[in-house]
């Protein structure tokens, strides 16, 4: 069961890393179509949040455990960042349900958000239990 937490952690980090170039490409394509919308402060905050979360999870995974206090601080920081991300994902699911009710047009988006939420729950559970 420990391996499932580690695999979910790797998938979670890969998904977060892929969000950054996909966001930039999407912004470029929207601008190329003539619908110019610049990045707002919340977009920058989301990108910074993603970078910090990936960095913390990578440091936590590669931490060799010589200093227990530093390891526990790093673990609690990872738990807090992943739980904040999970709250945002759950709000995204609620908003998706409220706006469209998971209609036929939103099937792929709903599936991706639900799967990412499930992976986030597994990563959070692994961090809380100390399996990652």
What 8-state DSSP symbol labels residue 33? T
Cα distance between residue 108 and residue 120, in whole Å: 18
Q: In the predicted model, is pLDDT for residue 122 greater than 80?
A: yes
Cα distance between residue 13 and residue 92, in whole Å: 19
Contact call for residues 8 and 122 (beta carbons, < 8 A)? yes
| Tokens coding 129 | 């239990």
CA distances from 34 to 41, 43, 61, 97, 100 (A): 22, 20, 43, 30, 27
Averaged confidence pLDDT in the chain? 85
Q: In the predicted model, is pLDDT for residue 11 greater than 90?
A: yes
32-67 pLDDT, tens per residue?
A: 777 777 777 888 888 899 999 999 999 888 886 677
């Amino acid at each position: 069961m420990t391996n499932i937490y580690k695999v979910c952690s790797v998938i979670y980090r890969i998904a977060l890393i892929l969000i950054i170039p996909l966001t930039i490409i999407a912004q470029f394509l929207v601008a190329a179509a003539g619908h110019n919308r610049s990045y707002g402060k919340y977009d920058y905050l989301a990108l910074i949040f993603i970078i910090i979360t990936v960095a913390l999870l990578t440091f936590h995974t590669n931490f060799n455990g010589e200093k227990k206090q530093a390891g526990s601080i790093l673990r609690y920081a990872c738990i807090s960042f992943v739980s904040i991300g999970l709250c945002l994902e759950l709000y995204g699911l609620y908003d998706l349900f409220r706006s469209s009710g998971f209609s036929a047009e939103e099937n792929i988006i709903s599936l991706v958000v639900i799967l990412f939420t499930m992976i986030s729950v597994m990563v959070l559970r692994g961090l809380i239990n100390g399996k990652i």
